[in-house]
């Protein structure tokens, strides 16, 4: 059972010592998976625990709150995915002013050595950490020689000749290129969350929706999509979804609204996973509700056609 911790302070978590990797891990794409596979393999060989250190919010969100990066995963998705991979200790550290002001040297001593008993530390290419981003692989290696751990940097991961990165996946999703994003992720792109009550306008318009809030995080994609909805039944259900601010009805907060075809039940409180299969169009503002409903009818018909012909792959970790 994985153990989650959020703070720098606390007791020792890895009594046997840990093989640790550090990074944002937003999306857990193929490059992240390669790094985590290396960490798990090294831990098994040495009889050590595995540990992942990440941050919430992401450092870029903390330093640039008015222009945060689009998120590929919500926090609970990241935790669930790491648990599914069998990581022993998951550090989702609260990134705040105190952590931002912590020197790289202090971070190594307090967290890597003090909390985790690091024996090996693995990072991605060009990794930086600590106050003013002074920490790097050279500092880790120098401190490791003093404190009893080794430090390693993995190469950039490539798939089909293309560099895999969270930035490249964000760019693909923003362009509606779900196929490229899937290739870099190693699975279809999906968002998950618990269904909340909305204004129930969709039900009045003939399209009841399961609404998932994005916790005010910036979404990596937007528009109207053909989707598969996981968590309604044992098998995924086809549907159509909107991800955006709903300009026709004066929406403000980004919201994921999924209509499940041929379903009339109560999904409130259920945790669903929305797999994005194809983008149908961008979000538009209509003159009135009848015009909106007319377009919704067209979107639903197009989504049904696409999903009838599209394969339904097994959705792994998302």
Q: What is the predicted pLDDT for the residue at 67?
A: 87
* Residue 309: burial class (beta carbons within 10 Å; 0-12, 13-18, 19+): exposed
Instruction: Determine the length of the chain.
Output: 318
Q: What is the predicted pLDDT for the residue at 312?
A: 64
Could you give the CA distance from residue 240 to residue 263 in angstroms, rounded to a whole number? Answer: 12
> Quick one: which of 40, 124, 25, 42 has its CA closest to 80?
25
Could you give the CA distance from residue 142 to residue 53 in angstroms, rounded to a whole number? Answer: 20
Residue with tokens 């302070």: 9
| pLDDT tens readout for residues 106-146 | 999 999 999 999 999 999 888 999 999 999 999 999 999 99
Q: Beta-carbon neighbour count of residue 111 at 10 Å?
A: 25
Helices (H) and strands (E) in the chain, counts: 10, 14
CB 8 within 8 A of CB 110: yes
- Give the residue-averaged pLDDT of 257-266: 92
44, 182, 293, 296 from 30: Cα distances, Å = 21, 10, 40, 35
Q: What is the predicted pLDDT for the residue at 318?
A: 45
DSSP single-letter state for residue 114: I
Strand-pair category, 237-244 with 255-260: antiparallel
CB 274 within 8 A of CB 314: no
Q: What is the predicted pLDDT for the residue at 22?
A: 96
Tokens standing for 102?
């912590």
Q: Which domains does the chain have, with CATH numbers?
A: 3-159 (3.40.50.620), 189-309 (2.40.30.30)
User: Is it the case that residue 61 has pLDDT exceeding 80?
Assistant: yes
* Residue 158: burial class (beta carbons within 10 Å; 0-12, 13-18, 19+): exposed
pTM of the model: 0.89
32, 36, 92, 138, 223 from 123: Cα distances, Å = 10, 10, 16, 12, 35
Residues in CB range of 294: below 8 A, 6 or more apart: none
| pLDDT tens readout for residues 166-219 | 999 999 999 999 999 999 999 999 999 999 987 777 777 888 999 999 877 888
Could you give the CA distance from residue 176 to residue 279 in angstroms, rounded to a whole number? Answer: 6
Residue with tokens 């202090």: 106
* DSSP track, 1-70: --EEE--S-SS-S-TT-EEEEES--SS--HHHHHHHHHHHHHHHHHT-EEEEEEEES-HHHHH-TTSPPP
* DSSP track, 121-164: EEE-TT--BSGGG-B-HHHHHHHHHHHT-EEEEPPPPEETTEE-
Q: Sheet holding 237-244: strands in order across?
A: 190-194, 271-281, 223-230, 237-244, 255-260, 210-213
| pLDDT tens readout for residues 6-55 | 988 888 887 889 999 999 999 999 999 999 999 999 999 999 999 999 99
CB 214 within 8 A of CB 232: no
Could you give the CA distance from residue 26 to residue 292 in angstroms, rounded to a whole number? Answer: 34
| pLDDT tens readout for residues 235-253 | 999 999 999 876 555 555 7
> Quick one: which of 147, 78, 135 has its CA closest to 103?
135
């Amino acid at each position: 059972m994985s153990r989650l911790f959020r703070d720098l302070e606390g007791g020792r978590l890895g009594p046997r010592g840990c093989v640790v990797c550090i990074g944002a891990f937003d999306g857990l794409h193929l490059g992240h998976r390669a790094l985590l596979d290396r960490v798990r393999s090294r831990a098994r060989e040495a009889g050590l625990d595995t540990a992942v250190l990440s941050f919430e919010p992401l450092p870029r969100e903390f330093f640039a709150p008015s222009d945060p990066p689009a998120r590929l995963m919500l926090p609970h998705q990241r935790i669930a995915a790491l648990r599914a991979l069998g990581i022993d200790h998951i550090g989702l550290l609260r990134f705040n002013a105190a952590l931002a002001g912590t020197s790289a040297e202090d971070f190594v001593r307090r967290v890597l050595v003090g909390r985790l008993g690091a024996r090996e530390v693995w990072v991605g290419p060009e990794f930086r950490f600590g106050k003013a981003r002074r920490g790097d692989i050279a500092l880790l290696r120098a401190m490791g020689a003093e404190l009893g751990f080794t430090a390693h940097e993995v190469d950039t991961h490539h798939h089909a000749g293309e560099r895999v990165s969270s930035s490249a996946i964000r760019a693909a999703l923003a362009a509606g290129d779900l196929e490229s994003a899937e290739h870099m992720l190693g699975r279809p792109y999906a968002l998950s969350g618990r269904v909340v009550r909305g204004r129930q306008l969709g039900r009045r318009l003939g399209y009841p929706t399961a609404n998932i809030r994005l916790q005010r995080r910036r979404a990596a994609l937007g528009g109207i999509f053909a989707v598969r909805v996981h968590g309604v039944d044992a098998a995924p259900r086809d549907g159509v979804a909107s991800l955006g601010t709903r300009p026709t009805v004066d929406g403000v907060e980004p919201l994921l609204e999924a209509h499940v075809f041929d379903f009339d039940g109560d999904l409130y409180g259920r945790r669903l996973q929305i797999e994005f299969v194809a983008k149908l169009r961008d979000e538009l503002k209509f003159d009135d509700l009848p015009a909106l409903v007319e377009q919704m009818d067209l979107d639903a018909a197009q989504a049904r056609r696409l999903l009838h012909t599209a394969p339904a792959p097994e959705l792994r970790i998302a």
